[in-house]
Amino acid sequence: MVTTFCAYPWDLIDDPAAPGRVTAAGADGVVIAAAYHSVRAATPLHPSRAVVDAASAAYYLPLDERVWSGSHLRPVTDTPWVGEDAFVRSARAARDAGLRVEAWVVLTHSTAVGSQHPQFTVVNAFGERYLYALCPSAPEVRDYARRLVEGVVRAFDVDGLMIEACGPLGVSHLGHHEKTQGADWSPVAENLLSVCFCDACQVLLARGGVDVARLRREVREGLAAEAAGRHGTTEGHLTDAVGLLVARAQARRELIAAVREASASVGRVVVHGQPDPWATGPFAAVFDDAASFDGVVVPGALVMDGAETVEWLGSQVGDGRLGGYFVALPPATPASIAQDWPRAIAAVDDAYLYHLGLLSRARLEAIGETLRPRRALTT
């Protein structure tokens, strides 16, 4: 059983008490963001700061030219909100305190890179670009992802990797003063708005026999139908939904192959995923490729659906490990954490707890109460 707190580098830097909060809550490791999108983060228990404004997507390592030489896409490494080489500094602090250290690498979510290279971002059926969403159909994006991972592996002897956004991002995106929730898009409408028509995707779709012009037209017609209340299924709106999913899966598998090549020396690599074949975003549709990883980490809400769901998810992972990603932020409360989490956490192999630095003492204490039965099984 592996129990790990998600953390940002600044949660551990300049706070000698942070590792103690990990162990006091019953966890044995941290997974630290090495490549991450922009965030404004509370740090309620840190001794010298209250809020960190990470204004840009960033790579919390210097660029090793052995890795990045010749790269078309490069991440931002200027991180004045935490200083240079923050991943290694925080990883050393955790390792010196006896914690397991994993690296958390977000692959295709970077407004900084997307703004510099918009031609490699997701384009919807209206020609609108999602600059935060790098499209893995582009070889340059897959190469960028490989280098992100290789740079982390070279920089620190991590105990494992947790890969997020291992596939395309779609329309759903929190940040940038998001003002899209009132649109009340149905899940089907969100799927349609997440179909990509960037140059690389159009080539990939056409190569697979998909009529791209018809697909674009059907996406727009499907969105109009959904907006008018004529709800259907994603597949029902699209003549060649299968061809679209096949093309998306091909790009994802090439992305996975690049990641696995770069992480070959790491003993444990898990990936965020979910079983919905239309899933985009942080938890991509990776279940068809679960065997490529040592485990799949699913949203905690899926685990909380019940034993049948957990059993089915486990069967899809095969010989790999099933992890749950449990978010202790609102709308969760300390009371709901204590009530709802114990059975769910007991049902998975690995528990990833979100998030060490963001949580109040009351929420951390509730997690500690939740993990007590799990600790008893391992002692």
User: How sure is the predictor about 173, in pLDDT bands with cuts at 50, 70 and 90?
Assistant: confident
The answer to whether the peptide bond before residue 331 is cis (omega within 30 degrees of 0) is yes
Residue 248 has pLDDT above 80, yes or no: yes
- DSSP output for 170-195: -S----SS---GGG---HHHHHHHT-
Residue 376 has pLDDT above 70, yes or no: no
Q: Would you state the pLDDT for residue 162? A: 98
Q: Would you state the pLDDT for residue 305? A: 94
Residue 177 has pLDDT above 90, yes or no: no
Residue 379 has pLDDT above 70, yes or no: no
User: How sure is the predictor about 182, in pLDDT bands with cuts at 50, 70 and 90?
Assistant: confident
Instruction: Report the chain's C-alpha Rg in angstroms.
Output: 20
Q: Would you state the pLDDT for residue 82? A: 98
Average pLDDT over residues 75-89: 98
For 134-162, the pLDDT digits (tens) are 999 999 999 999 999 999 999 999 999 99
Q: Would you state the pLDDT for residue 378? A: 58
- Report the chain's mean pLDDT, rounded to a whole number: 95
Average pLDDT over residues 281-308: 96
Residue 176 has pLDDT above 80, yes or no: no
Quote the pTM value.
0.96
Q: Would you state the pLDDT for residue 174? A: 66
Q: Which residues touch 143 (CB under 8 Å, ≥6 apart)? A: 71, 72, 73, 258
- DSSP output for 289-345: GGGGSSEEEEEHHHHTT-HHHHHHHHHHHTTSEEEEEEE-STT--HHHHHHHHHHHH
Please state, for a pLDDT cut of 90, what percent of the chain lies above it: 94
CB atoms < 10 A from the CB of 16, how many? 11
User: How sure is the predictor about 175, in pLDDT bands with cuts at 50, 70 and 90?
Assistant: low
Q: Would you state the pLDDT for residue 57? A: 96
Q: Which residues touch 41 (CB under 8 Å, ≥6 apart)? A: 8, 10, 51, 52, 54, 357, 358
For 17-29, the pLDDT digits (tens) are 999 999 999 999 9
Query: Strands 29-36, 100-106: parallel, antiparallel or unpaired by DSSP?
Result: parallel
- Determine the 3-state secondary structure of 62 from DSSP: coil
Residue 171 backbone zone (phi > 0: left; psi -120 to 50: alpha; other: beta): alpha
Q: Would you state the pLDDT for residue 331? A: 95
Average pLDDT over residues 63-74: 97
Residue 181 has pLDDT above 90, yes or no: no
Please state, for a pLDDT cut of 70, what percent of the chain lies above it: 97
Q: Which residues touch 306 (CB under 8 Å, ≥6 apart)? A: none
User: How sure is the predictor about 132, in pLDDT bands with cuts at 50, 70 and 90?
Assistant: very high
CATH number of 2-116+131-175+267-378: 3.20.20.80
Q: Would you state the pLDDT for residue 128? A: 97
Q: Would you state the pLDDT for residue 377? A: 58
For 203-238, the pLDDT digits (tens) are 999 999 999 999 999 999 999 999 999 999 999 999
User: How sure is the predictor about 374, in pLDDT bands with cuts at 50, 70 and 90?
Assistant: low
The phi, psi pair for 77, rounded to 5°, reads: -120, 0
The token duo for 254 is 């090439």
- Higher-confidence residue of 335 and 179: namely 335
CB atoms < 10 A from the CB of 99, how many? 24
**Strands, E assignment, the chain:** 2-7, 29-36, 39-42, 51-54, 58-59, 100-106, 121-123, 129-134, 160-164, 269-272, 295-299, 321-327, 350-354
Average pLDDT over residues 166-177: 84
Average pLDDT over residues 38-61: 96
Average pLDDT over residues 191-201: 98
Average pLDDT over residues 161-179: 87
Residue 375 has pLDDT above 90, yes or no: no
Average pLDDT over residues 337-363: 96
Alpha-carbon 17 to chain mean position: 27
